[in-house]
Structure 1
Amino acid sequence: MARNRKSRRQQHGSAWHWKQTDCWYFTPQGTKKREALFDENGERIRGKDSKEAAQLALARIKLTDELTPTVSSSSKDWTVAQVCEIYLADLTNTASPEWVTLSKSWLNEFCGYCGALTVPELKKKHLRTWLQKHKTWNNNTQRNVIACIKAAFNFCCKFDDLDVNPIASYQKPAATARVTSFSPEEEERIYAATNEAHALFLKCCILTGARPYAEMAVVTADHVVETPHGMFYLLKARTDDGRHGHKAAKKTGKDRRIMLCDEMETITRQLMLTAPKGSGIPLVRTKHGRQWKRCNGVQHFCELKKKLKLPVDRVTYTCRHTFAKRTLSGYYTGNPVSIEVLAGLMGNTPKVCWDHYAQWADDYNDPLWAALGKTKKKRKAS
């Protein structure tokens, strides 16, 4: 005859011993997950005879929970300011300093407008009204701001207890490509009008297509790699301190290789004489021997643009666009390249290069003219 066994299953919230691991656990109310109990030294409580120690550890946990204000997982208890604060705390450890600075500025201003609202109270009309107050923001800036705010809510939905993103369906305006390039004449005028250090910085950006401040300004001799084919700069996807090594590292997870032409190889070898490997000194520096930063670089170029009366759309980043246009048109070698090859040289995806630089690619435009019975006359690229 089977004997009746008294159930030995402990109630939720009680300490219990698991023979398999010889440790003590408890199951929090409303969950099915066991949590280990630890003593004051942070060691697991072991042994079936350690019931008293286990109960004491559980009492400490319950007391801490009572003294700590509980945050409901319901979205109705979240404020917009809380969402932004949690997102920025993580962003500081994962994104580039430049993006963190911009995000802080945008999110702080957004919280100043509607940060006290709870998440259910936040409507898309609040975001639209706030954006309309910034009449100087173009479509590209608005896209970045909207993406930043939506990312904050998405982060809390994915990694925290926020239930829903109230602005998930807010539409971003279409991006407007601001793609300009320097003509050879403009390039020569710029070199003649600025100081030698600034001219070298701009020239290196044009010859390599590197992003001015995120890549070219940080390159040291330690980034230089020489191969039988030639020389290139290697920027790792991750730095030693765990940060992203270049702008596209978070998206691609790949190292960035900046290939160098013969002229740029000669310049690099000369610069390495004054900034050898192991020194940590950037190869391209200001006239005071410091690293180029966005603040002083923009100031230099604004003064230069005013002096030469350059078009308003000319900026330092135009150097990178100039590299793209000249490479696509075969300016240096006489051999035009495809969008896919350009993407590899610039560290972009083919889609990004197609969206921005397709109008300069003869390989894609010539068939369009041929379909209309026209042939494009050859001319020297600028």
Structure 2
Amino acid sequence: MARNRKSRRQQHGSAWHWKQTDCWYFTPPGTKKREALFDEDGERIRGKENKEAAQLALARIKLTDELTPVSSAPSKDWTVAQVCEIYLADLTNTATPEWVRLCQTWLNDFCGYCGALSVSELKKKHLRTWLQKHKTWNNNSQRNVIACIKAAFNFCCKFDDLDINPLSSYQKPAATARVTSFSPEEEKEIYAATNKAHALFLKCCILTGARPFSEMAMVTADHVVETPHGMFYLLKARTAEGGHGHKAAKKTGKDRRIMLCEEMEAITRRLMLEAPKDSGIPLLRTTHGKQWKRCNGVQQFCNVKEKLNLPDDRVTYTCRHTFAKRTLSGYYTGQPTTIEVLAGLMGNTPKVCWDCYAQWADDYNDPLWAALGKSKAKRSAA
């Protein structure tokens, strides 16, 4: 027999728990807007088991409304700092630790500049002036920062009683693709300038095209799958603990397959001897036997870049771009591949690969030259 959902719905004016934020709310009669419930210390009431505390908080609100004349009832005067604080409290429960740390850094810096302003006083010029103070931020960094700040105000507008987002129409700068690759000569110099563990980590990233820290560094022997066609790493969309198994899992909901070439298969079999199945040990580790993390990996590469005086646009993620360029040009097999095949190998959509790597795809550029009467031989001779 089907359950009667209407019989379980709370009446307007009752306290109710929302699983998504793990907080208690109530909907005032005659409205459709939810309002959060706070305890005597001004903290949000969280946890489904705290129903009595939520009902007590609601009773205090009702009593205050009865004793306070409508004409003199004060409205909440939001400050920028309060908006950021409420958003970060929710973000801790829903986002990855890395993204939470980045948002904390940006929002704390923003609040240090204009956190004491009320929301009604905040103008787009405040955000623009603050961004101009950070001259090292490129367009991509600014896009992420602006998106984070706008998300904080949108969250309080949607899930709390903030009336308007004063920054909703602030335009983000256009994204700029930082697509660079290592030449074979640069690759050899980097391997010679760093330790063996780091050199092997970079080499595996170049041979597989895997994302360095959110995919390659996580691989253990349990992720290895052997088939008659060859070997690949299988990163599940969901981990046993319920988290996301790889970077794109939250967006796509699909498992990630990292296909291996013959050289990478030989490296994997050798690494599995030291980190066998069910051991939980990553195949690629630092010189101290630890898993590669963004902090130690970036610092190690910065040391190498300084030693070799490499251009600023060379980063660890360049290994992934190098794989894309070499695969499209047929560096390994002598046969160029298409954007669609590359997208499958890299775990991206064809659109992302087209936007980033189309300049390296001769299969798409050759017909354009042919339309002008220029063959590949003529271009080579020129």
Which TM-score band applies after superposition, normalised by the shorter structure? 0.7 to 0.9
The aligned counterpart of 1:62 is: 59
The aligned counterpart of 2:198 is: 198
The aligned counterpart of 2:80 is: 80
Once the 2 structures are TM-superposed, how far is the Cα of residue 210 of structure 1 from its aligned partner? Answer: 0.8
Q: Deviations over 1:2-53 (max 9, x none)?
A: xxxxxxxxxxxxxxxxxx98x9x875262489xxxxxxxx8x9xxxxxxxxx
The aligned counterpart of 1:126 is: 126
Once the 2 structures are TM-superposed, how far is the Cα of residue 159 of structure 1 from its aligned partner? Answer: 3.3
Q: 1:79 to 1:192 in 2, by over 3 A?
A: same
Query: Counterparts in 2 of 1:142-157, with a 5 A limit?
Result: 142-157=142-157
Alpha-carbon distance in structure 2 between the residues aligned to 1:266 and 1:121: 62
Could you tell me which runs of 5 or more consecutive residues in structure 1 were left unpaired when the two chains were aligned: 1-19, 34-41, 45-56
Alpha-carbon distance in structure 2 between the residues aligned to 1:60 and 1:288: 52
Alpha-carbon distance in structure 2 between the residues aligned to 1:58 and 1:105: 36
Q: 1:171 to 1:322 in 2, by over 3 A?
A: same
Q: Deviations over 1:162-184 (max 9, x none)?
A: 33322121111112221111111
Q: 1:241 to 1:374 in 2, by over 3 A?
A: same
Alpha-carbon distance in structure 1 between the residues aligned to 2:85 and 2:29: 28
CA contact (8 A) 1:75 1:163 kept: no
Q: Secondary structure at the match of 1:119?
A: coil
Alpha-carbon distance in structure 2 between the residues aligned to 1:176 and 1:377: 33
Q: 1:32 to 1:307 in 2, by over 3 A?
A: closer
Alpha-carbon distance in structure 1 between the residues aligned to 2:149 and 2:124: 12
Greater displacement, 237-246 / 291-300: 237-246
Q: Secondary structure at the match of 1:258?
A: strand
Q: Deviations over 1:296-327 (max 9, x none)?
A: 21221122122222222211111011000001
Q: Secondary structure at the match of 1:233?
A: strand
CA contact (8 A) 1:75 1:164 kept: no
Alpha-carbon distance in structure 2 between the residues aligned to 1:60 and 1:308: 63
Q: 1:367 to 1:58 in 2, by over 3 A?
A: closer
Greater displacement, 313-322 / 157-166: 157-166
- The question of 1:322 aligning with 2:313 is answered no
Q: How many residues align?
A: 334
Q: Secondary structure at the match of 2:120?
A: helix
**TM-score, structure 1 as length reference:** 0.79
Alpha-carbon distance in structure 2 between the residues aligned to 1:305 and 1:347: 28
The aligned counterpart of 1:15 is: none
Once the 2 structures are TM-superposed, how far is the Cα of residue 247 of structure 1 from its aligned partner? Answer: 1.7
Letter in 2 for 1:330: G
CA contact (8 A) 1:95 1:244 kept: no
The aligned counterpart of 2:138 is: 138
The aligned counterpart of 2:167 is: 167
Once the 2 structures are TM-superposed, how far is the Cα of residue 219 of structure 1 from its aligned partner? Answer: 1.1
Letter in 1 for 2:332: Y
Query: Counterparts in 2 of 1:249-260, with a 5 A limit?
Result: 249-260=249-260
Alpha-carbon distance in structure 1 between the residues aligned to 2:132 and 2:235: 39
The aligned counterpart of 1:293 is: 293
- Higher radius of gyration, 1 or 2: 1
Q: 1:27 to 1:287 in 2, by over 3 A?
A: closer
**TM-score, structure 2 as length reference:** 0.79
Q: 1:246 to 1:113 in 2, by over 3 A?
A: same
Letter in 1 for 2:269: R
Alpha-carbon distance in structure 2 between the residues aligned to 1:59 and 1:325: 62
Greater displacement, 170-179 / 152-161: 152-161
Once the 2 structures are TM-superposed, how far is the Cα of residue 283 of structure 1 from its aligned partner? Answer: 0.6
Greater displacement, 203-212 / 188-197: 188-197
Q: Secondary structure at the match of 2:319?
A: helix
The aligned counterpart of 2:109 is: 109
Alpha-carbon distance in structure 2 between the residues aligned to 1:185 and 1:207: 16
The aligned counterpart of 2:348 is: 348
Instruction: Indicate the percent of aligned positions where both proteins have the same amino acid.
Output: 80
Q: Deviations over 1:79-129 (max 9, x none)?
A: 222222222222223322222211110011111112222323222111111
Alpha-carbon distance in structure 1 between the residues aligned to 2:378 and 2:288: 45
Q: 1:159 to 1:32 in 2, by over 3 A?
A: closer
Alpha-carbon distance in structure 2 between the residues aligned to 1:301 and 1:32: 56
